Amino acid sequence: MVKFAGYSLITSFTPFDSVILKQNRRLSVNLCYKNQNNSRRLSTCTNKDILHAKAKMVARRYLPPWFSVAPMMEWTDNHYRTLARLLSKHAWLYTEMLAAETIVYQKGNLDRFLAFSPEQHPIVLQIGGSNLENIAKATELSNAYGYDEINFNCGCPSPRVAGHGCFGVRLMLDPKFVGEAMSVIAANTNVPVSVKCRIGVDDHDSYNELCDFIYKVSSLSPTRHFIIHSRKALLNGISPAENRTIPPLKYEYYYALLRDFPDLTFTLNGGINTVDEVNLCQTHFSFDL
Catalytic residue list: 156
Cβ–Cβ < 8 Å for 36, 287: no
What are phi and psi for residue 42, nearest 5 degrees?
-80, -50
Which 3-state string (H, E, C) describes 118-160? Answer: HHHCCEEEEEECCCHHHHHHHHHHHHHHCCCEEEEEECCCCHH
What are phi and psi for residue 161, nearest 5 degrees?
-95, -65
Among 164, 190, 168, smallest CA distance to 181 is for 168
Please, which residues have CB within 8 angstroms of residue 76's CB and are 6 or more apart in sequence?
Answer: 69, 70, 84, 93, 94, 95, 96
Cβ–Cβ < 8 Å for 158, 167: no
